[in-house]
Amino acid sequence: MPRVARARVSMVSSIHPMATKDEIKYYASLKQKKAREESGLFIAEGRKIVAEGLKSPCECARLFVKAGTPKSDPDVASLLEGWSYETLGELDFDRISDTENSQGVIGIFDYRKLIIQKPTADRLIALFDLADPRNMGTITRTCDWFGIKELLIGETCVDLFNPKTIRSTMGSIFHTRFILSKNLVDELGRYRETYKIVTADVAGTDYRAFDYSGKGIYVFSNEARGPSDGILAATDEVVTIPGGGKAESLNVASAASIIVARIFG
């Protein structure tokens, strides 16, 4: 496995065109969940996301820049100041990249400092069986906007460090701490001793009339199927967003935004 620690350089940027073909292949493999789980590393791409990563506690294992980008993009040049980075030709850079119109900068980060073992906040969001990485990323970004620091991620959700999820967070991935559940239903059952478990569904109490005071975990579920019987069995209260149109349901990221704004806004 390639080295996984890259120290910050004092005062001036350094260019290190040292990545071998095997290393390029290795970092490109981080597009796959198995490689991410084995290494604890993930790909962050784009100026904003990489900038947030470099300010975070996460170790930056490698910083790659497409040849010519610092000269053509002053924002990338400014971002790189004080950091050791490596320039890649277009072909090698594109092997690691996961975007069609890349901004020419990729950071490889260690995600393990973003993971916590149990909740410490009085109120947090739990996600059950989300399949769309864009919904996962959007909910993470929404929570960050409202100052929610912790998310509980169910074991059947799309991988949190999927490149599409990371892009959808727009850097909020680095501002948030995550509990990665091995069995969300069982864990919610245990957390009921100290938290009220509140689940969003199509039928329940009008979310505007619900009392959100006290310690609570607020559960949002699969885009198509909603909460499972197990989730509902572990739930103290069900809340819903009343509608007046013909749509069958709200997108889960939209529903989460509305309810989170009510709770934390």
Q: What is the pTM of this model?
A: 0.89
Q: pLDDT tens for residues 78-115?
A: 998 989 999 999 999 999 999 888 999 999 999 999 99
Distance CA 5, CA 230 (A): 42
Instruction: CATH number of the domain at 208, please.
Output: 3.40.1280.10
**DSSP-assigned states of every residue in 226-248:** BS-HHHHHT-SEEEE----SS-S
Q: pLDDT tens for residues 40-56?
A: 999 999 999 999 999 99
Do 40 and 149 lie in one domain? The reply is: no
Assign 3-class secondary structure to 23-77: HHHHHHHHHCHHHHHHHCEEEEECHHHHHHHHHCCCCEEEEEEECCHHHHCHHHH
Q: pLDDT tens for residues 233-248?
A: 999 999 999 988 877 7
**Residue 8 forms part of a structural domain:** no
The residue range of the domain holding 99 is: 14-112
Do 44 and 74 lie in one domain? The reply is: yes
